[in-house]
Structures are given as structure tokens and as C-alpha cells.
Structure 1
Amino acid sequence: MKSSLALSLCFLAGGAQAFVGHVPVSQPRSPWGGFSSSSSVATRAAASVPAPRAERRTAGRVVVTKMGWGDDVVFSKAKVVETGKIAEGQYALTIDAGDIAKEYTAPGQYVQIKVTSSAKPGFFAIASPPDASSGSLEFLIKENDATKALVGVKAGGSVEVSTVMGKGFPIKENFTGYKYDFPVQNVVLSASGTGIAPFRAAIESGALELPDADDDGVFGRSCKLYWGCRDEESMPWKDRVEAWDKRGVEVVVVLSQPSESWTGRTGFVQQAIKEEGIPLPRNSAVLVCGHKEMAEEVKEIAEKAGVLDGRVLSNF
């Protein structure tokens, strides 16, 4: 399969900020080669709903605490197994989350992580596929003032992590069967920056149910990933592109500030998607994760093309 790609980043005040620009999108050969109720009734109904429960793990035992609406999120300590820089301004982080990992069941779910109990936590999508038996969770962290302490924690150190949050991408219920129309045949993934993380989980977990490279794909499901980065050096997991291709994912890389030697797409992912179009929109699905402006534009493109609302998905 052929590969190419796009993104929108603007570096301001020491951090990367997404913006919508008008950089022309070129189409040269890809450098990747082949790849009514009353208030009293409402009050009684609300009172009948049990408060959610959370587990607090301490010293080898689990303490179940009752967590009311609006209460603080429960955090537990987790050991840092591995950490390191894998692209310009981006770090990979692996933690031993213990039983918390069992709560991770769908790509697109996320957790909150902080270095100390008094620190402000950040939200991070889980990059590794769901695997309850491993106990570990992987993340892609963008280095900035808010995450400087987190990326500085060495292997063997510890962080505090929340329970797994969100429902993830509801792929199975919206892609398969006849809930909306014919089952999804074409999947479009639109990622920018660290938004690639939950898509790695979706691809490598097999949740997208794609035919592999040896399948002719006539009756299978196709998938195209539009992956936006600033330049070649800001692309994490470049070594996984070939494996994703073999899993049935055509990778289209789009760089907003490429080097002079770059021969792939330039500009932003939303421009590339608009230019190439969405095939058979009523039988297509679009998953989006990344900068707000990109996500809003891609959702608008999908809506105008005729993609069903229930098949335009995000994880937040």
C-alpha cells in the first residue's frame, strides 16, 4: 500500500499549538514507498441512581470507596517501567498499572497521570492495545511545561494514575451490523500530534477488523490513516508504519513544516482528507483524535460528505 501524510502545528510560547492554515497540499510520490417530568419526580429518580464506585489500592490490598458525583478522582501509585524520547518533543512512557490495566477494554480510553499527589494531573490516551494480563499501559507524552516533570521520571520511579476513563471508540456497535445502514467498509483515521496514540491501540488490537496484507480485500474493510506531524523528526513510531500497512492500514503522512528532502504530502490532514474525499460516505466511518481545529474541520467534512453521525467518532 502507498503511504503519505499531513498536520497543523504552530509553536508558540515554547509549546506546540494547533492552528488552521492554508498551506497548499501537494501530491508527490510518498517517500514511504509501499506503505416532561416534574422536579419532584426527577429528584426521586436521581436519588435512586447509585453513586459510582472506585477502588483505592493500598499496600497490596484493595479498598472500595464510594465516589459521589463531582467527587475527586481516585489515584493509585504505579511504577514507571520504561520511558524515553522517541521523537522530537515526544516521549514514550510505560507504567505497571497492576489491576487498573484490567479496566482498559477499548482503544480510545484514557487515564489521568500526575507525578505527586499535590500535582495537577494531565489526561493521556492509552497507546498500547488492551491486554489485561500484562498489567502495563503505554502512553505518548508531548513535552511541555505541564509535562516536564512527568517525562523526567526515570524507570523504577513512580507516578500516580487514575482509574481508566471514558468508553473509548465505540467501534463494534457502530461499524458492524445494520444499526445505521450497511456495515462499514471504509475507515478514515485522522490524527495530529499525540492524537496518534489511541489509533495505534485501535490498529494493533485488531478492533478495526481489517483484512491483512495477504487478503485481496474485495469483501474486506479498507482503512486509511491521515497522520499529521510538524516534520520528519516529530514522528513517533515510524518503525511501526510497515507493520500497520501489513494489517491493512494505508498510512498517509502529512507534514506542515517538512525538510527540503521530503517528497510526501505537505500541509494539514484536514486539507488532505477534503482533497481526496471520503469514498462511499454512507458506508464509511471517521475516527478523529488530535488538535481541536483539525477535529472540527474533519467532522464538518465528513458531515457534508454524507457520513452518518453515529459513524463520526472521537474518544473525548
Structure 2
Amino acid sequence: MSITLSLPPSFSHVHVSTSPHSMSILRRLPFRRLKPLPDHHFRRRRLASLAAAASLRQDTTVWTPAPLSQISPAAESLFHISIDVSDAPDLAASHTRPGQYIQLRIVDLAKPTFLAIASPPAFASASGAFEFLVKSVAGSTAEVLCGLNKGDVVEISQVMGGGFDVDRIQPPDAYPTVVIFATGSGISPIRSLIESGFSANQRSDVRLYYGARNLKRMAYQDRFKEWESSGVKIVPVLSQPDSSWSGETGYVQAAFARAKQIYRPLGTGVVLCGQKQMTEEVTSILVAEGVSTEMILKNF
């Protein structure tokens, strides 16, 4: 059988031919209705798309190679680490507020680690270095970092985060009381805050409750005298002290609950950095005392 189609002049050369045999084959082909794909298939595809998008976002991180200029013990399981950023002045200048942090990665290790910058913002521009307090945790990137040597090269990201918004607790006469809380390596960004200056000596009551297991685990003890001369009263709190310790014991939140001394709640600023349980319990105590949550500063 031959079929000729009536087509416009521009297609007049087209001729379609088919045979009875081929038509009968088409008639014998079974009709299969396509089944809709199950919901879990679409969920898997969506999750895969989200993972790909997240990976793409991660790839936008700008990594800068930088050598280690110092690694030294700061306390038990804690290390003082300095990274030379003198060849990256824009990166150094981007540290503008205490409490900011960076990501750090090491060649052959897939997972980067987040590190809060311990040095004050002006330090990087003046000295060409970022300083950190790093806790060595078994099996982590931080453990590998703490095992490196001076001169070894790591990669660091751009400076991240908004840091501690100390403008919210200014001027000093409006917020004469500032209570600061830190546990373990959480003292790192607190050092940046204290040494960058927030008019502590112009306030009547600035206290730092600093918790550690014992004095061997407490970093920056050599800086305490300097911090106190700037107007910060330091209250060390040890959870497992030896028999010679006569200071505060237990957890930071318990030590603060015993003292409190919040005389003007609406004139009180707070800075928190450390274990989640500590920050949550301290926040509850402060709010119950009438301190505004807007005046409780965190760096994450």
C-alpha cells in the first residue's frame, strides 16, 4: 500500500510509504501504560539535587595556602597555633570583629575544621598572622593540625561570621555590667574580645567566668594579669580541681548562679562562648534575672 500526503509546495518532495505488513506489526504491539514513579524515587532525586547544590556552594569557598609560623602547647590538650597571612593582606584585613572564625583544611584530609580567631582584629594587619587556640581531639582534623610543624602549609578560608556585636552593649555608662562566660577552648574568641578592647576599664563590673577541668587544662593563665589590668575580673571555675584549689568549683553556670549580682538587668551585657549546656543554662538564669536576650552576645 502506498500513501501520498498532500503537503505544502516546500515539502512536495516528501513521500511516505508503508506496507500492510508493517502496519499489522504496529497493530500487534501491546500498549503499555507507564507506571508513575514512586514517591521515594523523587525524594532520592531531590536529596541528590540538594547534596549537589550544597557541594557547589562549598566549592565557592576561597582557599588561601599559608604556612604555620608557630605551634606550642598552651595547656593540656590545647595548642597555641599561629598562621602566617603576610602574603594575603586582604585576608588579614578582613578580620574586623572579635569572635569571627575561619575554616582550615589540610592536604589529603577531606573534612575542614572551624577555628575561632584568638588574636584581636588589629593583630593580623600589624603582624601578618592569625593566632588560634586549638583543642586536639582524637581522630579530628584539629589533631592532625596540632601534630604539624612550623613551616608546614595549610589552607584557610576567608574570615567568616559576624563575631561579637559589641556595639549592642555600648556606651559603657549605659551598660556598666558585662558578664563573660567561657569554657575550654571557648576562651579563644574571648581573648580576641578582651584584647581588642571594649571599654572594660570604663565599666563598674566586668567579670569573666572561665571554666576548665583543672588548672592544667586552663589556657592563657599568663595573660590573666594583663586582662585584669584592662578592667576584667577573672573568676576561674574548676570542675575537677586538686586538693590545693580554694577558688570556685563545679560548672561555670553553677558558680554564676551562686554569685549573680545583677543589680541593673537592663544595663547588663553578656558574652557567651563554650559548651551548649553552659550557654543555655546561663541564658536561662540571666533572662530570669531580667537581662534582655538582645544583650546576650554569641559568635555563632
Q: Taking structure 1 as the reference length, what is the TM-score of the superposition?
A: 0.72
Correspondence for 1:51:
none
User: What is the number of equivalent residue pairs in this alignment?
Assistant: 238
Residue 203 of structure 1, CA deviation: 0.7
User: What does residue 19 of structure 1 align with?
Assistant: none
Q: Is residue 302 from structure 1 mapped to residue 292 from structure 2 by the alignment?
A: no
Give the match for residue 205 of structure 2.
222
Distance 2:72 2:246 in 1: 29
Distance in 1 of aligned mates of 2:171 and 2:216: 41
Greater share of helix residues, 1 or 2? Answer: 2
1:136 and 2:120 correspond: no
Which residue pairs with 2:195 in the alignment?
204
Provide the aligned C-alpha RMSD in A: 1.9
Match of 2:83 among 74, 87, 95: 95
Structure 1 segments, 4+ long, off by >6 Å, are: none
Rg (Cα) greater in structure: 2
- Cα deviations across residues 255-287 of structure 1 (Å, max 9, x unaligned)? 000111111110000111111113311100111
Q: Could you list the per-position Cα deviations for residues 161-188 of structure 1 after superposition, in whole angstroms to 9, with x for gaps in the alignment?
A: 010000110002x11259xxx7211000
Letter in 2 for 1:120: K
Deviations 1:236-271 (A, max 9, x none): 111111111100000000000011111111000011
Which of the numbers 160, 170, 177 marks the counterpart of 1:176?
Answer: 170
- Match of 1:154, SS? coil
For residues 77 and 70 of structure 1, do their structure 2 counterparts lie closer, same or farther at Cα, with a shift above 3 Å needed? Answer: closer
Q: How does 1:1-316 map to 2 (within 5 A)?
A: 71-97=59-85, 98-99=88-89, 100-116=91-107, 118-131=109-122, 132-145=125-138, 146=140, 147-172=142-167, 174-177=168-171, 183-206=174-197, 208-211=198-201, 220-277=203-260, 278-316=262-300
Find the aligned partners of 2:245 and 2:235 in 1 and give their Cα distance: 13
User: Secondary structure of 1:119's match?
Assistant: coil
Structure (1/2) with the larger strand percentage? 1
Conservation of the 8 A alpha-carbon contact between 1:184 and 1:221: no
Tell me how far apart the structure 1 counterparts of residues 137 and 58 of structure 2 sit (CA, whole Å): 28
Structure 2 unmatched ranges of 5 or more: 1-55
Determine the structure 1 residue equivalent to 2:5.
Answer: none
Identity of aligned residues (%): 39
CA separation of 1:166 and 1:235: change in aligned 2, threshold 3 A: same
Code of the residue aligned with 2:263 in structure 1: it is: P
Q: Is the 8 A contact 2:74 2:133 kept in 1?
A: no
CA distance in 1, matches of 2:265, 2:288: 10
Q: Is the 8 A contact 1:93 1:139 kept in 2?
A: yes
Distance (whole Å) between structure 2 residues aligned to residue 80 and residue 209 of structure 1: 32
What secondary structure sits across from 2:102 in the alignment? Answer: strand
* Partners of 1:289 and 1:315 within 8 A in 2: yes
Rounded to whole Å, the distance in 2 between the matches of 1:264 and 1:199 is 21
Against the structure 1 CA distance between its residues 257 and 276, is the aligned structure 2 distance closer, same or farther, given a 3 Å change threshold?
same
Aligned residue identity for 1:87: A
Q: For 2:127, what is the secondary structure of its paired residue?
A: coil
* Offset, 1:231: 0.4
TM-score by length of 2: 0.76
How far apart, CA to CA, are the structure 1 residues paired with 2:246 and 2:66? 43
Q: Which sections of structure 1, spanning at least 5 residues, go unmatched?
A: 1-67, 212-216
3-state SS in 2 of match to 1:225: strand
Give the structure 1 partner of residue 34 of structure 2.
none
Answer 1 or 2: higher relative contact order, Cα 8 Å, separation at least 6: 1
CA contact (8 A) 1:102 1:133 kept: no
The residue identity in structure 1 corresponding to 2:280 is E
Q: Quick check: 1:141–1:194 contact (8 Å CA) kept in 2?
A: yes
